[in-house]
Homo-oligomer: A and B are copies of this chain.
């Protein structure tokens, strides 16, 4: 797997994952019918760092010189596994706290893609000088995410009662999670 900054050429693949994730309506507080245009505007908002995780086929080592058989076509055909965004959670006096959002392709679940992107994200956040990271909206029924964030050092600092209307479970709680990046 390779995790790298997203480019314009990734927009179609990102939209495929984004659409797949929000259409279920149970992990993000986003309109499940959001348009491609609005989705990509959100994921590529100015001031946001956007990354993708892609599968690297065996033998496809683009960094190796003198490998003329690797054409751009082959590179863009790599399978997109997931995408994430990293950005300041607030402006002005709040801009030292990062926020992030993660999406994994349904066909790539259970392979540690989310964890790999999260670890990459924490590393990038430190490199960019952020002092902490905050998740504003972790839906309490999304236990896989909560366990992953706790495993990576995040704590639930507050719970918003009935703040999310789950498509199957009705009104459920939402957690605010936070971790320092100083140490």
Contacts and interface: CB of A to CB of B under 8 A. Distances in A.
Query: In which size bucket is the chain A interface?
Result: 35 or more
Contact of A91 (B29, B163, B167): B29
Contacts of A93: 25-26, 29, 164-167
B160 A97 contact: yes
Interface in A149-179: 157-167, 174, 176, 178
A92 B160 contact: no
A176 B131 CA distance: 19
A22 B166 contact: no
B158 A176 contact: yes
Nearest to A32: B92
A110 interface: no
Interface stretch (A1-9, A70-78, A132-140): A132-140
B174 A94 contact: yes
Q: Which 3 A-B pairs have the closest CB atoms?
A: A158-B158, A29-B94, A29-B90
Interface of A: 22, 25-26, 28-32, 34, 90-97, 131-132, 134, 136-137, 157-167, 174, 176, 178, 180
